[in-house]
Chains A and B, each alone.
Chain A
Amino acid sequence: GAGVSQSPSNKVTEKGKDVELRCDPISGHTALYWYRQSLGQGLEFLIYFQGNSAPDKSGLPSDRFSAERTGGSVSTLTIQRTQQEDSAVYLCASSSGEGLDTQYFGPGTRLTVL
């Protein structure tokens, strides 16, 4: 079956522009996570969606970051007025929300802010 997909795979933008990153989770997975991965650092939790519950936004680094999940499936992470420190790989993961609840990751979006 299809895994987690993300688009675009690479995004180069100018400082101050807005960007949207998309994640398509595994069909049937109720839980969805966004992480940021910077060189030499562990995955940084950004936001968590579970079914129809209110998302856990506690990891979003500033109010320039927001995310939505429509219809319990596709999610979009939006970064407004991008800064150079936003440059990183943004990873999306989904899980079944039950049992072992292993997270399955997409290939990521590499964001470069010039």
Chain B
Amino acid sequence: GQNIDQPTEMTATEGAIVQINCTYQTSGFNGLFWYQQHAGEAPTFLSYNVLDGLEEKGRFSSFLSRSKGYSYLLLKELQMKDSASYLCAVRWSNYQLIWGAGTKLIIKP
């Protein structure tokens, strides 16, 4: 079967750093995506990893280890507007993605 796991909820403090983990088991692998979804809004694209290693984009970084079936999203200098759900998704075919249930991130002042 195919499976993606990520924590249901995390809490962090404004200005701090948080790491959201994602583990996956899929029949194929053609890249891993992270999306951000604010409550009641559409998911928006954050990052894409297809090779092992770290991709940095401003305050956000994403890491991938294909051999371990593992990724994380690192958010630095947290701001209140970062309060949202973060969705991990793996493209397991040419076009199909399997999605995690999302990690709700709560930022406290």
Contact = CB atoms under 8 A, between A and B. Distances in A.
Q: Is the interface of A mostly helix, strand, loop or mixed?
A: loop
Contact of B42 (A42, A48, A106): A106
Interface string B68-85: 000000000000000000
A42 B100 contact: yes
Interface string B14-33: 00000000000000000001
Contact of B95 (A31, A100, A107): A31
Contacts, number: 44
Size class of B's contact patch?
Answer: 10 to 19
Contacts of B105: none
A42 B99 contact: yes
Interface of B: 4, 8, 33, 41-45, 48, 87, 89, 95-102
Given A43-B97, A45-B98, A48-B96, 6 more contacts: A4-B42, A35-B99, A42-B87, A43-B87, A43-B89, A48-B95
25 contacts: A40-B8, A41-B101, A42-B4, A42-B87, A42-B98, A42-B101, A43-B43, A43-B87, A43-B89, A43-B97, A43-B99, A45-B97, A45-B98, A48-B95, A48-B96, A56-B95, A91-B42, A91-B43, A101-B95, A102-B45, A104-B45, A105-B42, A105-B44, A107-B42, A108-B42
